[in-house]
Structures are given as C-alpha cells and as structure tokens.
Amino acid sequence: MDFSPIIEFLQKFETKKVMTYIQAMDMKTVMEHPYFLTGVGFTAVIAYFMRWRLLLVAVMAITGFIYLLGYTLSKGTSLDGGMPTDSLVVLVGGGSFIVFLAIYLLFIRND
C-alpha cells in the first residue's frame, strides 16, 4: 500500500509552514470571513443550548473584545493633546461593559 499521498498531505501541516501562514494572516480579514463567523455563531448556539455558560461567556467576551479592538484601532486612538479621543472612551467603556457582563453571567446570574 502506497502512503505517499497521505505523507504529502501531512507535510502541509509542518509547524514551520503553519506558523508562516498564521503570521501572514490579517485579523481583519479573518474576522470578516464567513467560515469564521459561522464557526463562532455555531459554537455560541451549541453552548447556549447545552447550557455551557463558561464556553458561551468565553466566546462572547473574546469575540466582543476582538470587534471592540478592531473598531477602536480603525478609528485611531491617541493621547496627544492631553484629552482622550472618542475611540479611547469607546474602548474603555466597551471593555468595562464586556468584563461586567462576563462577571454577571458567570457569577451573579443563577438559572
């Protein structure tokens, strides 16, 4: 039996090649890719129906922070001039909201 096609397929997943691919990725492109959005949505729906609160909160918090950082960095943050910009206020306020929501869902709310 010839295993050469299997070996060639597995050689694509060498650590060096995988790390090169990950470093070349653009997070904005990945966040807007339909497969990524479908995977996150599917994971959140499964966690909700199976009542896996920790997984659901982790998915919501990580996704929320990624979108929040993407929004904030696209608007540009700067402390030049002494006063925080509107995007920095959104980052701090949105981050605080995500943290307090995660604490509420994990520790305070009981179903």
Q: What is the DSSP letter of 85?
A: P
d(CA 50, CA 59): 14
Task: Give residue 21's domain range.
Answer: 4-108
pLDDT score at 49: 92
CA torsion through residues 20, 39, 88, 53, sign: negative
* pLDDT tens digits, one per residue of 51-75: 888 899 999 998 888 888 777 777 7
Residue 92 identity (one-letter amino acid): V
Total tally of structural domains belonging to the chain: 1
Copy the structure tokens of residue 43: 């994971």
* pLDDT tens digits, one per residue of 10-57: 888 888 887 888 778 777 777 778 888 898 889 999 998 998 888 999
